A = this chain, B = another copy of it.
Amino acid sequence: MSFNITKTSQKRVVIVGGGFGGLQLANKLHQSGFQVVLIDKNNHHQFPPLIYQVASSGLEPSSISFPFRKLFHSYKDIYFRLAEARQLYPDKKVLQTSIGKIEYDYLILAAGTTSNFFGNKRIEEAAMPMKTLSEAMGLRNALLSNLERSITCATSQERRELLNVVIVGGGATGVEIAGAIAEMKRYVLPKDYPEIDPSNLHIFLIEAGSRLLSGMSAESSREAEKFLRRMGVNIYLNKRVTDFLEHKVILEDGMEIPTRTFIWVSGVRANEIANLPQEAIGRGGRILVDAYNRIKGMENIFCIGDQCLMTADKHYPEGHPQLAQVAIQQGKLLAENLKRLERKKEMRPFHYKNLGTMATIGRNKAVAEFNTVKTQGWFAWILWLVVHLRSILGVRNKMNVLLNWIWSYFTYDQSLRLIIYAQKAKEVREREERESKVHWGEKTPE
């Protein structure tokens, strides 16, 4: 296999990952004399801030994803390849991927993070994370079929397990999915499942830290907590989940919560790539970079977004929060810096401009912060809607999401509660097996 891209006189920039950072970088490098190659393991860009609404049957997966190839229709200098990065050969300036090797002049890692199960295999096996669209769709299917099952299951024990939803992790995602499920319980359950007494559906939100939304102000945390409690979510703070056994979430203090809907949104760790020196790896597997997002000890390999850790930004000595805005701003600056490098100019160091953070809890309920300004409730919620709608790619998707939101706002209901799995063709299954074998160390079938 090969990338099948002919090397031109242009320098080649290989970008690993088409998330907020990688996509921003690619777009900014368009028509600047580089040959840009973007690789991603999906054929589409995703919009993580709304993935939880897919899990709660509020949005279609397609409304928050956009095919890379469609994005690059008119960009002849940007190439997309469906592939996974495996291993670096810095001296050879070669990247090993699932579809073969590719040479680069500049390599940018923007592969983001993956769910962190802190090494507990049982938790990893049983828990449902919500990082990707496939996971969100899987969660949607599981939620719905567990409700179905709770009506027909054999024992009252199993019924309790099926009607307990346990969410581990009180960050934005945890808060948002808890709110969404609480609204499902309130508005949808009585209509869809008359056989289920809503008061038997319990939603638990477990946070190891002392407050929800630790990334935001204490005030916002309090508000979010108040909103969620009012919506009937059982919030447990300062509780660490240590294990999962026989359909039971086990907490450090010995408490157990029986459940078959075990949602895991507690912490992430940076995606790995083989052959990076150990000293380049920091907290949470994040790759250490200098003020220019250049990887420690590397000549022309950079890392941006959630995957990297930069301590050079004076206001963020601990590194930046893992947010879309950071990735976007880093991608933007790196594009400029690469151009400067080519013009033999000095690169400009990165400084994060905090445009604010927000989280939504439910209808008319959100918390938002902009520098000194804090707001909660209805206004914050409208802000949240507008900001997110603006950042979704594609007119059609914007339209879709808006229509969906308006529809559900007035009907209190969606008709997306479908249990569907895509069937995997033999051809595709076999190919995936083959490619998963192209691992670090192993030679590529070329």
Mark A residues whose CB is within 8 Å of B: 1-4, 42-44, 60-62, 65-67, 69-70, 73, 76, 81-83, 99-100, 125-126, 128, 132-135, 137-142, 144-146, 148-149, 151-154, 191-195, 247, 260-262, 394, 396-397, 399, 403, 407, 413, 415-428, 431, 445-446
Q: What separation, in Å, do the CA atoms of A65 and B192 have in the docked complex?
A: 16
Contact status of A141 and B428, CB under 8 A, knowing A73-B192, A192-B67, A192-B70: yes
Q: A144-B43, A191-B73 are in contact. Are A65 and B154 (CB under 8 A)?
A: no
A154 to B399, CA, bound (A): 41
| In the complex, chain B residues whose CB is within 8 Å of the CB of A194 | 76
Given A61-B420, A419-B43, A70-B154 contact (CB < 8 Å):
no
Given that A73-B192, A99-B152, A194-B76 are contacting pairs, would A417 and B142 also be in contact in the complex, using a CB cutoff of 8 Å? no
A138 touches B416 (CB 8 A): no
Contact in complex: A422, B137 (CB < 8 Å): yes
**Nearest B residue to A193, CB-CB:** B69
Contacts of A2 in B (CB 8 A): 152, 154
Q: Is the CB of B423 within 8 A of A137?
A: yes
Known: A70-B192, A420-B422. 10 other contacts (CB 8 A): A43-B419, A65-B420, A67-B192, A70-B417, A133-B420, A134-B423, A145-B431, A394-B415, A397-B415, A422-B422
A425 in complex: contacting residue of B69, B138, B152, CB < 8 Å = B138
Tell whether, in the assembled complex, residue B192 and residue A44 are in contact, meaning their CB atoms are under 8 Å apart.
no
Shortest beta-carbon distance from A194 to chain B in Å: 7
Shortest beta-carbon distance from A245 to chain B in Å: 13
Q: Which residues of B contact A416 (CB under 8 A)?
A: 62
Tell me how far the C-beta of A443 lies from the nearest C-beta in chain B, rounded to whole angstroms.
13
- A135 CB contacts on chain B under 8 angstroms: 423
A203 CB → nearest B CB, Å: 17
B1 touches A146 (CB 8 A): no
Residues on the B chain within 8 Å of A69, using CB: 191-193, 417
Distance between Cα atoms of A346 and B192 in the complex (Å):
37
Given A62-B60, A192-B73: A421 in contact with B418 (beta carbons within 8 A): no
Residue from A100, A142, A149, A420 whose CB has the most chain B CB atoms within 10 Å: A420
Are A427 and B142 also in contact (CB < 8 A) when A69-B417, A420-B137 are?
A: yes
Copy tally for this chain in the complex stands at 2
Q: Which of B3, B152, B247 contacts A4 (CB 8 A)?
A: B152
- Complex interface: chain B residues within 8 A of A4 (CB): 151-152, 195
Give bound CA distance, A292 to B403, whole Å.
Answer: 45
In the docked arrangement, what's the CA distance between A399 and B154, Å?
Answer: 41
Taking a contact as CB atoms under 8 Å apart, the answer to whether A425 and B139 are in contact is yes
Contacts of A415 in B (CB 8 A): 62, 66-67, 70, 394, 396-397
**A145 & B70 in contact (Cβ 8 Å cutoff):** no
Q: How far is the CA of A43 from the CA of B427 in the complex (A)?
A: 28
- Known A-B contacts A43-B418, A154-B445, A415-B67; the reply to A425 vs B142 at CB < 8 A is yes
Q: How far is the CA of A162 from the CA of B134 in the complex (A)?
A: 25
Give the complex CA separation of A421 and B429 in angstroms.
Answer: 12
**A213→B148 CA distance, assembly (Å):** 40
A134 contacts B422, C-beta separation under 8 Å: yes
- Residues on the B chain within 8 Å of A428, using CB: 138, 141-142, 145
**Would you give the shortest CB distance from A265 to chain B, in whole angstroms?**
15
Find out whether the CB atom of B431 lies under 8 angstroms from the CB atom of A43: no
User: Does B128 contact A425, Cβ atoms closer than 8 Å?
Assistant: yes
Partner of A421, one of B128, B134, B399: B134
Q: Which residues of B contact A427 (CB under 8 A)?
A: 126, 142, 146, 247, 260-262
| A60 neighbours in B (Cβ, 8 Å) | 60, 62
**Which chain B residues lie closer than 8 Å to A424 at the CB level?**
138, 141, 421
- Determine the distance from Cα of A4 to Cα of B195 in the docked complex, in whole angstroms: 9
The docked-state distance in angstroms from the alpha carbon of A428 to that of B50 is 24
Q: Which residues of B contact A426 (CB under 8 A)?
A: 125-126
